[in-house]
């Protein structure tokens, strides 16, 4: 099923590129899935890593995900999907609340996504400087609030043995990027 999810995501994101790096977009879902796989998570969660941006960024909907990958994967993707009809701040506040209150699997998916996004921002900052903030709907201060809030919420409800390695990587990246 993982290979099917990777292939589906590759086709769905065909021609899309990342904001900062201009790399093929598919590199992002692949990296998210790899964090989840290295942490030893379920096949369904790894598939959700490949598929997490499908509903937001492609013509496919959550029903397509459910039909192809089942209700567990669809529920994980759905919990991660933002409502693009809402403002940036409303969407991000909802994600913070989701991270704070959801199951550990949903936390794992969202934080893996946020880590890869933040590492891309960090690389962009090293290459292009602070001008990269202009590529986003929200600038430095809003991004700082958002990422620090995710970092503060992600441990809520988890036992120490439930915390994957990349949560610490994310926390460190938030400090590196936003300490000024």
Catalytic residues: 56-57
Rounded distance between C-alpha atoms, residue 22 and residue 72, angstroms:
32
Rounded distance between C-alpha atoms, residue 26 and residue 173, angstroms:
22
Rounded distance between C-alpha atoms, residue 101 and residue 105, angstroms:
11
Cα-based distances in Å from 111 to 7, 8, 32, 126, 131: 23, 22, 9, 22, 25
């Amino acid at each position: 099923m993982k290979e099917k999810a990777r292939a589906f995501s590759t086709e769905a994101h065909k021609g899309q590129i990342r904001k900062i790096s201009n790399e093929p977009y598919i590199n992002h879902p692949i990296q998210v899935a790899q964090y989840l796989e290295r942490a030893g998570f379920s096949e369904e969660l790894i598939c959700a890593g490949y598929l997490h941006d499908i509903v937001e960024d492609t013509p496919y909907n959550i029903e397509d995900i459910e039909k192809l990958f089942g209700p567990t994967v669809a529920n994980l993707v759905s919990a991660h999907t933002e409502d693009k009809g809402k403002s940036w701040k409303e969407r991000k506040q909802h994600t913070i609340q989701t991270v704070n209150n959801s199951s550990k699997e949903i936390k794992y998916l969202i934080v893996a996504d946020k880590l890869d996004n933040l590492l891309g921002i960090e690389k962009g900052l090293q290459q292009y400087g602070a001008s990269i903030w202009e590529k986003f709907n929200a600038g430095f201060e809003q991004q700082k609030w958002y990422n620090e809030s995710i970092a503060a919420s992600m441990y809520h409800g988890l036992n120490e043995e439930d915390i994957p390695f990349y949560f610490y990587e994310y926390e460190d990246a938030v400090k590196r990027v936003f300490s000024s």
